[in-house]
Structure 1
Amino acid sequence: MVSTVERLNRYAKLAVEVGVCLRPGQDLLVEAAVEHAPLARSVARAAYAAGARYVDVLYNDQQILRAQVEFGADEGLGWAPPWQVKRLEEGRRRHMCRMLIVGDPDPNAMAGLDGGRVARADAIDVRREHLRGINERAVAWSIIACPTEGWAEALFGEPDVDRLWGLIERAVRLDEPDPVAAWQEHMARLEARARAITERHFDAIRFRGPGTDLTVGLLQAARWGAAVFETEWGQKHLPNLPTEEIGTVPDLRRADGVVRATRPLYAGGVEVRDLTLRVAGGRVAEASASAGEKTIHQLMSRDEGATRFGEVALVDATSRVGRLNTLFRTTLLDENATCHLALGNGAPFAVENAPANDPVALREIGINQSSIHLDFMVGGPEVEVDGIEPGGIAVPLVHGDEWQLDA
């Protein structure tokens, strides 16, 4: 029987070595909920053991956020003290690493609150600086998940943290004799898929299934990639641990049809069910949901880019996350269970020499810019995904939840 301390330490070591790939002398910024403190401490120990100069941990508390949404003044929603932005600016300027720990301690923390106010509580200036660090490849970052009693209660109806730990360990390959080697083999397979689809130079991707017939145009200059990112100074890192996808940035001007999410998603602590988008000319013309619709409308009102796509990603049934057959209620895991799209910000580094620090120029190229990035799942056994060649011929990519291209 593996002890909790041993689990935390093994997981933290993997996150530092494979996630952010911390180098000796670098600083590490960590963000976590107060309930994630045991894992944050293990991450700090692993980072210092790997040669970190300094580890800075910033904790958040859902109950305090709930109090603000429930009782706080309107002008305070979405505001954050300038030092929080400066912290990320310094991290970007000094080439720090950054680790975000997720795993909802209380998935019902925002229950009964106004969805619009929940959506507005997101600190916009902090999020913009976060996205700038990503766009400019100025931070080696990674997101990991921490099991908690509240999260386990929401998934299983009881606070069975050991059961949740078992799922997370399988998802991140800690059940392998050599997890680092297992990750190297896995990423090599995904990178081979990404090269294969890039070489086909598809004009668009089409999703077809129950309630879905959507065609998303692609940028010919964009590459497909696995989630192995590289900073401007050459430090490779895995932004998502786990990751099962290959993806690219689509053309913000070209998307038409209707798409229905195949799984619920969670935005700002609010559950969104049966999300359906009608899209014309690249822009969402109509959005509906059986639950959480107000939150979606609030998020999409943030800026013009919030109504356009910034990511298209493909995942098949070989996904370890998908094979766990669990709705985890967190994007980090759920997006890696099946194919997905994202409204909002697109990654400039998918296009070589894209001007990452010039939002206007990026939009002119066709790379969407926004203060949000909202992933939602659109794949599964009943959804067919085709690559559309410039001449209009459809080439199967994912059918029956199985990868179809040679790679």
Structure 2
Amino acid sequence: MIKKEIITKYVDLALNIGINLQKEQILVIMSPVETAPFTRLLVEKAYELGASEVIVHWSDDFCKKMTFTYGKKEIFEEMPAWQVDSLMYYANKGAAFLSIAANDPELLAGIDSEKIGAYQKTRGQTLKPYYDKIMVNELQWNIISVPTLAWAKKVFPNANDDEAVNMLWNAILKSTKADTENPIETWKNHLSILKEKMDYLNNKQFEKVVITNSLGTNLTVKLPKNHIWASGKDVTQSGIEFVANIPTEEVFSMPHKYGVDGIVYASKPLNYGGTLIEDFSITFKDGKIIDFSAKSGYEALENLVSIDEGAKYLGEIALVPFDSPISNLGILFYNTLFDENASCHLAIGQAYSSCIQNGDKLSSEEMEKVGMNDSLTHVDFMFGTSDLSIVGYEENGNCENVFINGNWA
């Protein structure tokens, strides 16, 4: 049984370090109904911290599966305006947004891929105004996770229900450092370490990096001029610090839209929209995806890269040491929030404007000119391994090892 005091520390961590909730600020929480007890703790604590209002948008995996199972394709080709209007209403009032990512990894296994593809595309198009605010750090946002039974059983299939949930709770609390004596101070120290790596890369301003490993990955990633590496801590345009992901172990930037060449092999499955994509590879030429393969989930991968033209290019490169706290747990979470922080990863789709100088002020034409990708989607997939090599090349031709055997050189 997980002690309530540790759960309370996790709640405090999410609101104080993750969101950094301000007095008299509105908080919007996106939560599965299955995590309601934890969500209610968030609501109570947010009001104690001085929130002016807390709104919860509930979701339910069972109802979602029934809709996808029995609903006609046409209902996934449009999204009610009130759903985006609600998010934009609170975003325009300066709200902070906290999401609990805890879905069943195989929720939509066996569902008609055309329905899933239509849903993902429609959602991306309709919610773009909201996601644009996220990508330029106009508001505070944070993603955390809480165990659900279906997810816990996927991660720990040999345990009984209660054991599986408790084991996943323990893994989450350890990954997020919520089980330490003072999680908030632990996180401040952790963020300072990530900043050291970030500063090193920003000072180097590599022109490109070359990535190789024994899976067969051989990828050259060009970086735009004046690119910026970021780490765990972000700052809103109004100057409020926040941490978008808890946990986070990454230092990340953007590839040049047209500067990616070669092949990359995924080192972990990708849970995309309730479908697992496993044992897959992607081939790039001049930045564009020209080929891909997958042992399972091929249609889901095909849907992903077909959402729009920008989904055929990359928007993020993130470096995470193989010898990191989450990786060392030896657990495959089937949840990108955790798996991406156990492995170097790339993201298909939209780039973060904070990863290039004055990125939030660029027009669409200027974004294209500097090599910043624009898309309706942003989906991370993992490529880090224990033998990963990353070599950075400066504009003058000098090179140096960034990663050796999966870890910082």
| TM-score tier (shorter) | over 0.9
Return the alpha-carbon distance in structure 2 between the equivalents of residues 360 and 166 of structure 1.
Answer: 47
Distance 2:209 2:45 in 1: 41
Whether contact under 8 Å (1:222, 1:351) holds in the other structure is: yes
Aligned to 1:191: 195
Paired position in structure 1 for 2:279 = 274
CA contact (8 A) 1:119 1:267 kept: no
| Residue in structure 2 matched with residue 258 of structure 1 by the alignment | 263
* Partner SS state of residue 343, structure 1: strand
What does residue range 5-404 of structure 1 map to in structure 2 within 5 Å? Answer: 5-104=4-103, 106-122=104-120, 123-157=123-157, 158=159, 159=161, 160-209=164-213, 210-356=215-361, 358-404=363-409
Paired residues of 1:119 and 1:268 also in contact (CA < 8 A): no
AA of the residue aligned to 1:185 = N
TM-score (norm 1): 0.95
Q: State, as a whole percentage, how many aligned pairs show the same letter.
A: 30
Q: Find the residue that maps to 1:398 and give its secondary structure.
A: strand
Amino acid of the residue matched to residue 144 of structure 1?
A: I
Distance between the aligned counterparts of 1:318 and 1:292, measured in 2?
28
Secondary structure of 1:165's match? helix
Tell me how large the CA RMSD over aligned residues is: 1.6
Give, in whole Å, the separation in 2 of the partners of 1:126 and 1:30.
Answer: 19
Question: Is the contact made by 2:105 and 2:335 (CA closer than 8 Å) also made in structure 1?
Answer: no
Q: 1:401, 1:280 → 2: CA distance?
A: 25
TM-score for both structures, normalised by structure 2 = 0.95
Q: 1:318, CA displacement in angstroms?
A: 4.0
Worse-superposed segment, 14-23 or 69-78: 69-78
36 and 332 in structure 1: CA distance in 2 versus 1, 3 angstrom threshold: same
- Whichever residue aligns with residue 261 of structure 1, its letter is A
Structure 1: runs of 5+ lacking an equivalent: none
Partner AA of 2:98 in structure 1: M
Once residues 326 and 117 of structure 1 are traced to their aligned partners in structure 2, the CA distance between those partners, rounded to angstroms, is 31
Task: Compute the displacement of 1:75 (Å).
Answer: 2.2
Inter-partner Cα distance in structure 1 for 2:394 and 2:278: 33
Q: Aligned letter for 2:172?
A: I
Equivalent residue of 1:251, what SS?
coil
Q: Structure 1 residue 162: deviation in Å?
A: 1.1
Q: Equivalents in 2 of 1:24, 1:189: separation in Å?
A: 29
Q: Which amino acid aligns with 2:108?
A: M
CA distance in 2, matches of 1:170, 1:293: 33
Number of residue pairs the alignment of both structures matches: 402
Matching residue's letter, 2:193: R
Paired residue secondary structure (1:216): strand
Moved more, 237-246 or 391-400: 391-400
Alpha-carbon distance change, 301 to 356 in structure 1, aligned in 2, over 3 angstroms:
farther
Secondary structure of the corresponding residue to residue 279 of structure 2:
coil
Residue 129 of structure 1 aligns to a residue whose secondary structure is helix
1:6 positional shift: 3.6
Query: Unaligned regions of 5+ residues in structure 2, if any?
Result: none
CA distance in structure 1 between the aligned counterparts of 2:2 and 2:65, rounded to whole angstroms: 35
What code does the residue aligned with 2:403 have?
A: V
Q: Which amino acid counterpart does residue 207 of structure 1 have in structure 2?
A: I
Tell me if the contact between 2:2 and 2:166 (Cα under 8 Å) persists in the aligned partners.
Answer: no
Give the C-alpha shift of residue 371 in structure 1: 0.7
Cα separation, 2, equivalents of 1:133 and 1:78: 24
What is the deviation of 1:127? 3.6
How far apart, in 1, do the equivalents of 2:279 and 2:191 lie? 32
| One-letter amino acid of the structure 1 residue matched with residue 112 of structure 2 | D
Alpha carbons of structure 1 residues 299 and 56: separation in structure 2 relative to 1, 3 Å: same
